[in-house]
Structure 1
Amino acid sequence: MFEKVGPVGGDKGSPFDDGVSNDVMKVTVAADEFSITYIEILYAKEKEGRYETIKHGTKRGEIKEFLVAYPIESIIAVGGSYDHIFTYDTTLITSLYFTLSNGRKSPKFGKTSGTEFLLKGESGGKLVGFFGRGGQAIDAIGAYFATNSRGPQKLESHGGGNGGA
């Protein structure tokens, strides 16, 4: 089970949808002076014992990688910003960062500008895929989060009588 959160950003570019994977192992992001231009995701595919790399946008500008210590940690939130870029007369994603299950955060990719956003699942589940719009840059981004992840739960006691006395 999963939930779809977003997208945020602009309405231009071609739609993309990576679908749902088991986990995200690595994210590579490129940013120029205006926006996030490229995102590359290394997914672990559930039950298939394989990995898949999916790329969106155009690789230009400063390129940085963020590794997730899979399967020990998972991305649980995607934050960043989007803004109208007058040079291109369109709204683009201008920055991205990722928050992990253990509280660790990625470095910020790009420059914060315009409206800030935070994408995360209501149940606190891990990131399992991206969707959005892109072309020469990343116009919009949304995320799929697993809904079967649970936080701490109170367990009720069950059993017989006196505990064996």
Structure 2
Amino acid sequence: MNKYEKGMELLNERFGKGKDNVIALATIALEKSLEGNPQPRVRDVDAMYEDGAFYVVTHAKSNKILQIEANPEVSISANFEDFFSSGVAVNLGWALDPKNEKLRSKLRTVFSDWYDFANDESDKNCCFLAIYLKSGTLRIDHGVEFYRFDFENKTAQ
């Protein structure tokens, strides 16, 4: 097993297998600062991890989706897990769209404690957000070991 495969195994152990994860999701605001600079925005979201991507249930008119539509480059941090990554976020569309049936089933299971309370699937703006990871770092034991991932090329150093 090479380092990338071992690292992916560790990510799956920490975040996969049907776990509800809290991650910090950073986007770039639509408006610039008074100095004219891009402004980062960060918020915690519940996410399911699978095969190098995180999935979130959200609303198509939320600030995060509007910001992602303008600039799909995002960063995430998995709270207290020493994992930091950047990637591309994509609005996968309405939760009840037939193309989302398999993902919907997984998300409803992972988020079963609160899914129906927090989401109105009859609203066509109830959508799924995919965060496809491009690069990232996983620290083990506070930096005793590092995995620096290139998810696109499936390598780790």
Select the structure that is richer in strand. 1
TM-score relative to the length of structure 1: 0.23
Select the structure that is richer in helix. 2
TM-score relative to the length of structure 2: 0.24
If asked which structure has higher relative contact order (CA below 8 Å, sep 6+), I would say 1
Q: Is the radius of gyration larger for structure 1 or structure 2?
A: 1
